């Protein structure tokens, strides 16, 4: 036996046990796969619903979202050994998000906003917000139906949309959102405020 | 707050067009949002609450955000991933190998992380119970069929290889809360191949593997509670499923042997006295 397992495989080689297979390098790989599978199931599988919903908000399509989640799961599985024990949900969602953007970049290049343009987008979209000086009655939005609301969220630029979805739909806290979207908490806060204001504005216009 | 004429405008009633709103990146606005999101410590929360009491624009901002959050909660119920997505992921993962051999020290970290993750799941008390109680019979059957398929593609279909039940049963001790009933059916031409741990939802369960000619039978045993309710399909993707409950334990047998043979196996397993 050339390789000594780091973790004793209890039972597999019990001294007084009847003939069992010795641990060979091949078996060692199999054990490694089992560990990866166990880790994957503990870290990734509990968050498939959230992953699917985020992918759906980012791709605006259920079938595409399923593809993205499958690709993201594979990426997560390949990277599972680099998972450092942080917040599993934020880790999984950050992979889903990156996968969704690569997917959009490849399949719908027209819809994707590059990182360089991001700041410009934020400024551009911030402007009309600042110009508005009305404070419409809040009760106006109470009549908004699910379809209108969904369409209005879908219209938000991606950085605003993902931040709003993660907070107001998925209920992540700011730290988790910062982790999942890979930006500082200050950016999460300003994107969230802008996203909510823009959304309210669109919903009022719908009325 | 923008300094220009803020005081004069604040005295106007809400809804007057002249009233200016603070910019969205104004820190007082960000703090109102953070306050509503429960992100502030008590001292900051108190000061924001006081500020909202003094500045109608901030109070209005808070009201709008609350309305929006309520609207989202009411109108957009959380959608679940489509049925079958999990099974597809599981079977894809099951046939995927890691890209390259990992140095052994990383391997040990992986193992450590895995045990921590599992411990965390178990330590969080009822968490996995809640999670597992949402498993529908169909999902359980799908997961077990996926596990069976994956085991066929893995280098070994079992974690412990032994035809001896005295080896297989103790192997589960320490891995599974209740080690399963293991019987010897070799004389009936269903020799024992070994055992492995499968996971349903987040619950580790014991699976025994028997052989019939060139076919393998995965027999999974789990505590029979609501979570693992009996029911669901008799076959998925050509794999037959036989299930039964005995002494508070639910059993699923999954295999590509004929349904009749699987029934025979189940019958023999239930009636056999050759157990540890």
Q: What is the mean pLDDT of chain A?
A: 77
What ipTM describes this predicted complex?
Answer: 0.77
Beta strands B192-200; B249-255: pairing state:
unpaired
Give pLDDT, residue B39.
Answer: 92
Domain ranges of chain B: 27-79, 135-271
The DSSP-derived string for A80-132 is GGG--SS-HHHHHHHHHHHHHHHHHHHH-TTT---HHHHHHHHHHHHHHHHH-
Taking a contact as any Cβ pair under 8 Å apart, which residues of chain B between 79 and 98 contact chain A?
A: 79-82, 85-86, 88-90, 92-94, 96-98
Structural domains of chain A, with CATH = 25-107 (1.10.1740.10), 115-206 (1.10.10.10)
List CB contacts of B87: < 8 A, sequence separation 6 or more: B142, B143, B145, B146
* B205-260 per-position pLDDT tens digit: 889 999 998 889 999 988 776 555 556 788 888 889 998 888 778 889 999 899 89
Residue pair B86/B53 in contact (Cβ under 8 Å)? The answer is: no
pLDDT at A28 over 50: no
Query: What is the pTM assigned to this prediction?
Result: 0.53
Structure tokens at A112: 């994707």
Contacts 24+ apart (CB under 8 A), A162-168: A162/A54, A162/A57, A162/A58, A162/A97, A163/A188, A163/A191, A163/A192, A163/A195, A164/A192, A164/A195, A164/A196, A164/A199, A165/A53, A165/A54, A165/A57, A166/A54, A166/A93, A167/A192, A167/B37, A168/A196, A168/B68, A168/B69, A168/B72
CA distance B134 to B231: 14
* End-to-end CA gap in chain B: 77
Residue-level pLDDT at B151:
80
Strand partners, B219: B208, B253
Indicate if the pLDDT at residue B66 is higher than 90: yes
pLDDT in tens, B101-138: 443 333 444 444 444 444 444 433 333 333 333 455 66
Provide mean pLDDT across the span A173-196.
Answer: 93
Contact flag B167-A20 (C-beta cutoff 8 Å): yes
- Nearest-Cα residue of chain B relative to residue A194: B24
Is residue A43 within 8 Å of A80, Cβ to Cβ? yes
Q: What is the DSSP string of A147-176?
A: HHHHHHHHHS-HHHHHHHIIIIIT---HHH
Closest CA to A56 of A105, A93, A109, A88: A93
Q: Looking at residue B243, what is its pLDDT?
A: 87
Chains A–B, number of C-beta pairs less than 8 Å apart:
219
Mean pLDDT score of chain B: 75
Nearest-by-Cβ selection for A174 from B39, B81, B154: B39
Residue A115: per-residue pLDDT: 46
- B15/A137 CB distance under 8 A: yes
**What pLDDT score was predicted for residue B222?**
83
Residue A142 — φ and ψ, nearest 5°?
A: -65, -20
Instruction: Name the residue with tokens 């999670």.
Output: B131
Q: Which residue of A has its CA nearest to B96?
A: A74
pLDDT of B38-47, one tens digit each?
A: 999 888 899 9
- For domain B135-271, give the fold: Phosphorylase Kinase; domain 1 (3.30.200)
Name the closest residue on chain A to residue B107, using Cα atoms: A32
Q: Which of A2, A64, A73, A91 to mutate to test the interface with B (most CBs of B within 10 A)?
A: A73
How long, in residues, is chain A? Answer: 207
DSSP-assigned beta bridge partners for residue B209 = B194, B218
Positive or negative torsion for Cα B23, B27, B28, B33: positive
The pLDDT tens digits of the residues spanning A105-118 come to: 888 877 655 544 55
**pLDDT score for A168:** 96
């Amino acid at each position: 036996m050339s390789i000594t397992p780091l973790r004793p495989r209890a039972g597999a080689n019990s001294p007084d046990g009847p003939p069992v297979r010795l641990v060979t390098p091949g078996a060692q790989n199999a054990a490694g796969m089992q560990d990866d599978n166990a880790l994957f199931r503990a870290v990734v599988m509990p968050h498939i619903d959230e992953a699917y919903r985020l992918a759906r908000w980012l791709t605006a399509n259920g079938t595409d979202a399923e593809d993205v989640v499958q690709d993201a799961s594979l990426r997560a599985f390949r990277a599972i050994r680099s998972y450092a024990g942080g917040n599993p949900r934020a880790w999984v969602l950050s992979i889903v998000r990156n996968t969704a953007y690569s997917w959009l970049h490849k399949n719908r290049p027209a819809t994707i906003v590059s990182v360089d343009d991001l700041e410009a987008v934020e400024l551009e979209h911030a402007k009309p917000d600042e110009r508005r000086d009305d404070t419409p009655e809040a009760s106006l939005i109470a009549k908004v139906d699910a379809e209108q609301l969904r369409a209005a969220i879908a219209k938000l630029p991606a950085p605003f949309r993902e931040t709003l979805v993660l907070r107001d739909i998925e209920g992540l806290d700011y730290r988790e959102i910062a982790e999942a979207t890979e930006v500082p908490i200050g950016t999460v806060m300003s994107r969230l405020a802008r996203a909510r204001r823009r959304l309210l504005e669109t919903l009022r216009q719908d009325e | 707050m923008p300094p220009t004429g803020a005081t004069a405008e604040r005295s106007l009633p809400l809804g007057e067009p002249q009233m200016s709103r603070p910019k969205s990146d104004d820190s007082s606005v960000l703090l109102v949002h953070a306050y509503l999101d429960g992100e502030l410590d008590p001292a900051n929360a108190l000061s924001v609450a006081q500020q909202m009491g003094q500045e109608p624009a901030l109070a209005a901002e808070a009201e709008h955000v609350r309305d929006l959050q309520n609207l989202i909660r009411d109108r957009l119920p959380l959608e679940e991933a489509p049925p079958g997505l999990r099974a597809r992921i599981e079977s894809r993962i099951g046939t995927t190998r890691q890209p390259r051999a990992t140095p052994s020290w990383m391997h040990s970290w992986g193992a450590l992380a895995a045990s921590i993750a599992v411990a965390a799941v178990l330590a969080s008390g009822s968490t996995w119970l809640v999670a597992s109680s949402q498993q529908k019979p169909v999902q359980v059957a799908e997961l077990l069929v996926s596990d069976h398929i994956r085991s066929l593609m893995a280098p070994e279909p079992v974690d412990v290889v032994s035809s001896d039940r005295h080896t297989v049963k103790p192997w589960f001790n320490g891995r599974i809360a209740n080690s399963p009933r293991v019987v010897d059916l070799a004389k009936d031409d269903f020799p024992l191949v070994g055992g492995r741990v499968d996971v349903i939802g987040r619950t580790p369960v014991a699976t025994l593997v028997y052989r019939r000619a060139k076919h393998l039978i995965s027999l999974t045993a789990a505590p029979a509670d609501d979570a693992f309710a009996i029911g669901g399909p008799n076959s998925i993707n050509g794999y037959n499923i036989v299930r039964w409950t005995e002494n508070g334990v639910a059993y699923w047998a999954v295999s590509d042997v004929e349904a009749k043979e699987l029934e025979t196996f189940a019958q023999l397993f239930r009636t056999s006295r050759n157990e540890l």
